[in-house]
């Protein structure tokens, strides 16, 4: 397994991490806990040291799962978690269809961290992200609260998720950011315009989530695929049958390059991301061991400058159809 360092921080992790949300949240019913524990331990055995969760996933049960499954590997693995959603009993985070409200008040951050520490069975959170920027709380107050937690030894590194450049700069001035986590892949390239240059300038690592387009870039989803009503993708504009049909051109491109490289579309999509910057660490999620192995296999795929030029040139001719999120969730990004 290759390792990468997130920006100018001291945080070194496996070059590909594991996004754990789908094990208990958003993509249909929660998966069998024992099977997921086995998968998490298999990931460690294969050299993965970077695991991503959040208190809202479940809510809470995803952190519980990681805390128990990864307990034997304390000190060997890095677990990132997130705060920032209001997951009180009257909100509705399940599947995020109703989009729970945001709450990044300093007192709520402290409360969330205490809960995460208990569930993860750790004394210190390796990487703590604000899950979404809260427009009602100045980012300086958020960064200040996390800075206090770092000084208290409860948190090691600070990150933001889906934040805009102005917010990134303001937060970084109070407490240096180790990483930004946002959606980035061959079908979501918006971070390239402003975000990635700012991260490079400031020395902040980038952790792309949904690097396989929520499964679409694997080539295993087409216009005929049906999603369970509890599957978050059934609410996404980009996953309507019409959008999936239009976006198939991207899969054709990945398949074409993959044939030449003896690699799957998913491996080409991940290899493309890894080739963008040495401080980018994608976190594809999976609940299946053979997919985990397939994703790790992307590290062996070498894309030449000509390959990357071909992908960029061909993909620039493809207009991806459909918004990433329904309007309410879309408004929570890029602030």
Q: What is the pLDDT of residues 224-235, one digit of tens each?
A: 999 998 999 999
Question: In angstroms, rounded to a whole number, what is the distance separating the alpha carbons of residues 290 and 293?
Answer: 5
Residues paired with residue 128 on neighbouring β-strands, in sequence order: 81, 158
Per-residue pLDDT averaged across 113-135, rounded? Answer: 98
Q: Phi and psi for 204 in degrees, rounded to 5? A: -110, 135
Distance between CA atoms of residues 209 and 220, nearest Å = 19
Is residue 59 reached through a cis peptide bond, with omega within 30 degrees of 0 on the bond before it?
yes
pLDDT at 83 over 90: yes
| H or E, element range at 157 | strand 155-161
Average pLDDT score over residue span 197-209: 98
Give the model confidence (pLDDT) of 32-76 as tens digits: 999 999 999 999 999 999 999 999 999 999 999 999 999 999 999
Helices 289-296 and 265-276 meet at what angle, rounded to 10?
40
Is 57 one of the annotated active-site residues of the chain?
Answer: yes
Contact 175, 106 (CB under 8 A): no
Percentage of the residues of the chain whose pLDDT score is greater than 90: 95
Q: Tell me: the pLDDT tens digits for 2-30?
A: 999 999 999 999 999 999 999 999 998 99
Kindly state the percentage of the chain with pLDDT values over 70: 97
181-198 mean pLDDT: 97
Contacts of 293 (CB under 8 A, 6+ apart): 46
Does the pLDDT of residue 86 top 70, yes or no? yes
Residue tagged active-site, from 27, 57, 129, 184: 57
Mean pLDDT computed over every residue of the chain: 95
pTM, two decimals, is 0.96
What pLDDT was estimated at residue 97? 47
292 three-class SS: helix
What is each CA distance from 42 to 36, 180, 305, in whole angstroms? 10, 27, 33
What is the token pair recorded at 250? 């991207």
Q: What is the reported pLDDT for 93? A: 46
Q: What is the pLDDT of residue 89?
A: 52
pLDDT for res 154: 98
Rounded alpha-carbon distances, angstroms, from residue 193 to 4, 132, 134, 164: 23, 20, 23, 11
The radius of gyration of the chain from alpha carbons, rounded to an integer in Å, stands at 19
Q: Please report the pLDDT score of residue 95 as a whole number.
A: 44
Judged against a pLDDT cut of 50, whether residue 99 lies above it is answered with: yes
Q: Work out the end-to-end distance of the chain between its first and last CA atoms, rounded to an integer number of angstroms.
A: 35
Q: What residue ranges define each of the domains in the chain, with the CATH number in brackets?
A: 3-215+276-301 (3.20.20.100)
pLDDT category of residue 88 using cuts at 50, 70 and 90: confident
Q: What is the pLDDT of residues 263-292, one digit of tens each?
A: 999 999 999 999 999 999 999 999 999 999
pLDDT at 96 over 70: no
């Amino acid at each position: 397994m290759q390792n990468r360092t997130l920006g100018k921080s001291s945080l070194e992790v496996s070059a590909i991490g594991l996004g754990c949300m789908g094990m208990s949240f958003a993509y249909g019913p929660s998966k069998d806990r024992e099977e997921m524990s086995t998968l998490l331990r298999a990931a460690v055995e294969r050299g993965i040291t970077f695991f991503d969760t959040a208190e809202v996933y479940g809510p809470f049960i995803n952190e519980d799962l990681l805390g128990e499954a990864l307990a034997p590997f304390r000190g060997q693995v890095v677990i990132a978690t997130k705060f920032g959603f209001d997951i009180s009993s009257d909100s509705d985070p399940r599947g995020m269809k109703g989009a729970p409200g945001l709450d990044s008040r300093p007192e709520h951050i402290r409360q969330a961290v205490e809960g995460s520490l208990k569930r993860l069975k750790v004394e210190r959170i390796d990487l703590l992200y604000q899950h979404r920027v809260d427009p009602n709380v100045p980012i300086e107050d958020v960064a200040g609260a996390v800075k206090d937690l770092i000084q208290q030894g409860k948190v090691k590194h600070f990150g933001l998720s889906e934040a805009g450049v102005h917010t990134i700069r303001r937060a970084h001035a109070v407490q240096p950011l180790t990483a930004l986590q946002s959606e980035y892949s061959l079908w979501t390239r918006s971070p390239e315009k402003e975000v990635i240059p700012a991260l490079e300038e400031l020395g902040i690592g980038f952790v792309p989530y949904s690097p396989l387009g929520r499964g679409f870039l694997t080539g295993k989803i087409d216009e005929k695929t049906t999603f369970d009503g509890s599957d978050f993708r059934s609410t996404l504009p980009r996953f309507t049958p019409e959008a999936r049909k239009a976006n198939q051109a991207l899969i054709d491109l990945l398949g074409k390059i993959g044939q030449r490289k003896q690699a799957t579309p998913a491996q080409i999509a991940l290899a493309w991301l890894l080739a963008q910057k040495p401080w980018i660490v994608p976190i594809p999620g999976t609940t299946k061991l053979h997919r985990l192995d397939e994703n790790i296999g992307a590290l062996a795929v070498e894309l030449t400058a000509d390959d990357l030029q071909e992908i960029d040139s061909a993909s620039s001719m493809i207009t991806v159809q459909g918004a990433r999120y329904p309007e309410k969730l879309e408004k929570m990004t890029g602030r």
